[in-house]
Chain A
């Protein structure tokens, strides 16, 4: 091989390695960037007050950056979404994998892909114009923009994630398990409930984790339909009141902050909290999935 060609081969190898490592670099860089700006806030604002403060008054004087209401708002909306999405998602996954006739499968699977593809701003728009007024009338609320409304719309965003990963997990259950159960005289439904679903449990839990990650990180839906009131959700009926989430706060306020003001850094600190939460959720899902693949 000529010298020039050898050099070219080496150079290309290096470029390709760089592209591979870039994905780690991006994650590290995002984290480092958020961390740096968050720390610039913590120079002048106690991180404990930040994490446990019950009030978020970013433009009062002096500003108050307590993210507890935002964290609870995010958790509340996500909880609503997950409570709706889990039965629907797992039910749909079981139905597609175990029950549905082939022709229906051929419709349902692409339909789920379509749902996954719907831009969140379009879903948010639907929530804003159709669901919110409807719920307001139905439940006699002051406003239709509530945690419940946001949670319902988020459930549709988490649904395709849960369905596709849970379905993969169910399909991965070996046939011999099913045959063994059926051969002992169990009905198809008993087999599904007592053998197939438990065997696919780790994959199903991973799907739920990823659904949670998707819901917590979603921005447009919560920004447009949860009402964005930064108040502490204190009781169960908070579900029917406006809340404000971590993502919604960033989206709402970033456009109006002064570059490198405490408010600006506070929003990066919110971003950091969000990054850490979603990172942890995805890591757990990844670990579950990894174990479940190796266990096959």
Chain B
């Protein structure tokens, strides 16, 4: 068992270490804040970072309210029965649908049918659907952790169901919902296949200026520079890969910290 664990774990550590050793020298302030130059073979990755930032923002706007309310429905409104079982099954399967299929769906529905074009809007909506199960599951867990006695106390005081949820249940579930959101953001920030046909651009001379703009994004940028551009300097590739990894790990770490602090501070 220990040997198998070592075989599983060692390469993972090696990968992370390698990324740091090879990528770290590339990461300079200029690399992070400059536009790409010379057919992307020099300069920085600023537009890709900005694009990913906007995409993540858009994803949060779509997925968090809907996901949280869906979780509220499941825990606070629905009588547990066939419909809730069906919804939970749908959520489990949504989580399993390949991201490239989300990409196809986003292309068909948002880009072409609804005519949002290849744009931040289409990409954010697609990513929003992709991370919805993550948000719902985390929010549901957080809501279920709020003691039943709080709800009873509120209802017995003559509060309506929604007043109870808004003033008592949700405030106590916020840390869990934030954890889920951050995890979802990490997932969205690293996702490539779902944005390939819905938003991502190979190279853009300008930063996106509206929800209907195309945008560059870090994961897609890494894909293109490592497969589509011959003679790309290694340093830029490793640097981009490391920036993307650090960005995603930052979200994962934040989620872990929020969760740990919340567990420690909770007094009921």
Binding site for B on A (CB under 8 A): 1, 5, 8-9, 12-13, 15-17, 19-24, 26-27, 29-30, 33-34, 37, 87-89, 91-92, 94-96, 98-100, 108, 110-111, 113-115, 117-126, 128-130, 156, 159, 163, 210, 213-214, 216-220, 223-224, 247, 250-251, 254-255, 259, 267-268, 271, 274-275, 278-279, 281-283, 286
B93/A9 in contact, CB under 8 A? no
A17/B197 in contact, CB under 8 A? no
Given A16-B72, A255-B197, residue A282 in contact with residue B92 (CB < 8 A): yes
18 A–B contacts, CB within 8 A, in A order: A5-B160, A19-B66, A22-B70, A26-B132, A34-B101, A94-B1, A111-B13, A114-B249, A117-B251, A119-B189, A121-B192, A125-B222, A126-B241, A210-B96, A213-B96, A216-B98, A254-B107, A271-B105
Given A23-B91, A124-B223, 20 other A-B residues pairs in contact with their CB atoms under 8 A: A5-B160, A9-B162, A17-B77, A20-B77, A22-B66, A23-B90, A27-B93, A92-B8, A121-B223, A129-B234, A159-B8, A163-B8, A210-B96, A217-B98, A219-B99, A220-B193, A223-B193, A267-B104, A271-B100, A275-B98
Q: With both chains docked as a complex, state the minimum distance between the C-beta of A67 and any C-beta of chain B, in angstroms.
A: 15
Residue of B nearest to A278 (CB): B96
Q: Give the complex CA separation of A113 and B16 in angstroms.
A: 13
B97/A126 in contact, CB under 8 A? no
B244 contacts the other chain (CB 8 A): yes
How many residues of B are in contact with the other chain, CB < 8 A? 80
Q: Give the complex CA separation of A130 and B192 in angstroms.
A: 20
Q: With both chains docked as a complex, state the minimum distance between the C-beta of B223 and any C-beta of chain A, in angstroms.
A: 5
A278/B132 in contact, CB under 8 A? no
A99/B100 in contact, CB under 8 A? no
| A119 in complex: contacting residue of B72, B73, B219, B256, CB < 8 Å | B219
A119/B245 in contact, CB under 8 A? yes
Residue of B nearest to A277 (CB): B98
Given A17-B77, A220-B192, residue A122 in contact with residue B222 (CB < 8 A): yes
Q: Mark B92-123, 1 if CB is under 8 A from A, else 0.
A: 11111111111111011100100000000000
| A218 in complex: contacting residue of B95, B98, B112, B162, CB < 8 Å | B98
Residue of B nearest to A216 (CB): B98
| A27 in complex: contacting residue of B67, B94, B103, CB < 8 Å | B94
| A20 in complex: contacting residue of B1, B11, B73, CB < 8 Å | B73
If over half of A's interface residues share one DSSP class (helix, strand or loop), that class is named, otherwise mixed; here it is helix
Binding site for A on B (CB under 8 A): 1-5, 7-9, 11-13, 15-16, 18-19, 66-67, 69-70, 72-74, 76-78, 86-87, 89-105, 107-109, 112, 129, 132-133, 136, 160-162, 186-187, 189-193, 196-197, 219-220, 222-223, 226-227, 234, 237, 241, 244-245, 248-249, 251-252, 256
Question: Which interface residue of A16, A87, A278 has the most chain B CB atoms within 10 A?
Answer: A16
Given A23-B133, A34-B105, residue A255 in contact with residue B196 (CB < 8 A): yes
A119/B191 in contact, CB under 8 A? yes
B133/A259 in contact, CB under 8 A? no
Given A99-B1, A118-B248, A121-B190, residue A110 in contact with residue B100 (CB < 8 A): no
Q: Give the complex CA separation of A115 and B86 in angstroms.
A: 31
Q: Give the complex CA separation of A15 and B156 in angstroms.
A: 25
Q: Which residues of A contact B66 (CB under 8 A)?
A: 19, 22
Q: 9 shortest A-B CB distances, which residue pairs?
A: A91-B4, A119-B190, A217-B98, A20-B73, A282-B96, A19-B69, A219-B193, A88-B8, A95-B1
Number of CB contacts from chain A to chain B under 8 A: 235
B256/A9 in contact, CB under 8 A? no
Question: Which interface residue of B1, B73, B129, B252 has the most chain A CB atoms within 10 A?
Answer: B1
A30/B101 in contact, CB under 8 A? yes
A217/B1 in contact, CB under 8 A? no
Q: Give the complex CA separation of A122 and B218 in angstroms.
A: 10
Q: Which residues of B contact A87 (CB under 8 A)?
A: 4
Q: Give the complex CA separation of A223 and B197 in angstroms.
A: 15
Question: Which interface residue of B7, B8, B93, B103 has the most chain A CB atoms within 10 A?
Answer: B8
Given A113-B252, A250-B104, residue A125 in contact with residue B193 (CB < 8 A): no
A254/B70 in contact, CB under 8 A? no
Q: With both chains docked as a complex, state the minimum distance between the C-beta of A293 and any C-beta of chain B, in angstroms.
A: 12
Q: With both chains docked as a complex, state the minimum distance between the C-beta of B29 and any C-beta of chain A, in angstroms.
A: 22
| B90 in complex: contacting residue of A27, A100, A268, A278, CB < 8 Å | A27
| B18 in complex: contacting residue of A113, A126, A247, A279, CB < 8 Å | A126
A117/B100 in contact, CB under 8 A? no
A92/B193 in contact, CB under 8 A? no
A274/B100 in contact, CB under 8 A? yes
